[in-house]
């Protein structure tokens, strides 16, 4: 995942990347204009952000179809593949939506989510943000962790519905979310910001905003193992593969 924050014409731009999820949004609004232009710009801002946060209707329909049907042995590989692909995309998007929601509520001028992001070919997302001012440290800290909160909460809701967890969509969503948790931790501890092109991931962003990255990493790994253990006990596969501990 990546978060890109910029001021005005890309002054003070900050880019954080992570290997699996990344996404962009935001084009800055002009400030200090007369009352008419200020109202007009404000209207366009909400209209623009609202449009960008709207998911494709066809994708929503596809998600609904696969979410409501557990995976069966007689499903074709194509059906499973499409369902899993929808789940993978949704997991990335939901993660990015967590970042985006915090920035938008905090008053960002424009927020934009892109899946996949600009730094990868497929499995990543990116959130771009533009501000006329500077986001507070608390906002940056909350936004950095919000992606994990939203995606893990959504995965947990699927796990509480065995039909949803066993569906092709659920398999793609849950597996992607667990992979995201572990890959963030692995990448954080095996890479150094500024070396070999690594610019940081969400855990790096959380650390830079004043958070404790080790507690966040421990929480992500602990939840992932807990989720896998419950799936094994309920005989729920991970990407159609049975778990054995």
Q: What is the per-residue pLDDT for 161?
A: 87
205-217: pLDDT as tens digits: 999 999 999 999 9
Does a structural domain hold residue 200?
yes
Does a structural domain hold residue 103?
yes
Tell me, rounded to whole angstroms, the distance of Cα 46 from its chain centroid. Answer: 21
Mean pLDDT score, 141-169: 93
Does a structural domain hold residue 241?
no
Compute the distance between CA of residue 72 and CA of residue 108 in angstroms, rounded to an integer. 45
Cβ–Cβ < 8 Å for 226, 155: no
pLDDT band at residue 168 under the 50/70/90 scheme: very high
Q: What is the per-residue pLDDT for 40?
A: 41
Nearest by Cα to 139 from 131, 217, 77:
131
Q: What is the per-residue pLDDT for 118?
A: 59
* SS3 at position 55: coil
Compute the distance between CA of residue 90 and CA of residue 169 in angstroms, rounded to an integer. 9
Mean pLDDT over the full length of the chain = 75
**Res 48 pLDDT > 50:** no
Cβ–Cβ < 8 Å for 169, 88: no
**76 C-beta neighbours (distance < 10 Å), count:** 8
Tell me the residue range of the domain where 152 lies: 2-233
Position with higher pLDDT, 62 vs 227: 227
174-195: pLDDT as tens digits: 999 999 999 999 999 999 988 8
Does a structural domain hold residue 189?
yes
Mean pLDDT score, 27-47: 39
Compute the distance between CA of residue 169 and CA of residue 86 in angstroms, rounded to an integer. 6
Compute the distance between CA of residue 107 and CA of residue 202 in angstroms, rounded to an integer. 21
Name the residue with tokens 């424009």: 110
**Res 224 pLDDT > 60:** yes
Does a structural domain hold residue 160?
yes
Most confident of 25-39, 136-150, 228-242: 136-150
Q: What is the per-residue pLDDT for 174?
A: 96
Nearest by Cα to 205 from 222, 196, 193, 215:
193
Q: What is the per-residue pLDDT for 175?
A: 95
Overall domain count for the chain: 1
Does a structural domain hold residue 190?
yes
Q: What is the per-residue pLDDT for 4?
A: 54
CA angle 134, 139, 143 (to 5 degrees): 120
């Amino acid at each position: 995942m990546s978060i890109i924050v910029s001021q005005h014409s890309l002054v003070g731009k900050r880019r954080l990347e992570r290997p699996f999820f990344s996404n962009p949004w935001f084009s800055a609004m002009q400030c200090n204009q007369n009352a008419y232009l200020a109202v007009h710009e404000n209207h366009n801002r909400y209209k623009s952000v609202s449009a960008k946060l709207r998911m494709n209707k066809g994708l929503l329909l596809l998600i609904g179809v696969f979410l409501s049907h557990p995976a069966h042995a007689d499903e074709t590989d194509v059906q499973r593949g499409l369902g899993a692909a929808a789940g993978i995309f949704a997991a990335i998007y939901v993660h990015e939506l967590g970042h985006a929601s915090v920035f938008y509520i905090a008053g960002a001028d424009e927020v934009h989510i892109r899946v996949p992001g600009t730094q990868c070919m497929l499995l990543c997302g990116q959130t771009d943000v533009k501000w006329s001012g500077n986001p507070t440290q608390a906002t940056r800290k909350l936004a950095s962790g919000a992606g994990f909160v939203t995606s893990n909460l959504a995965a947990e809701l699927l796990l509480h519905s065995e039909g949803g967890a066993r569906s092709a969509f659920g398999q793609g969503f849950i597996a992607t979310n667990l992979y995201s948790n572990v890959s963030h931790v692995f990448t954080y501890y095996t890479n150094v910001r500024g070396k070999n092109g690594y610019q940081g991931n969400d855990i790096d962003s959380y650390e830079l905003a004043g958070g404790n990255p080790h507690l966040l990493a421990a929480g992500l790994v602990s939840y992932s193992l807990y989720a896998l253990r419950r799936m094994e006990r309920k005989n729920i596969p991970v990407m159609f593969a049975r778990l054995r501990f």
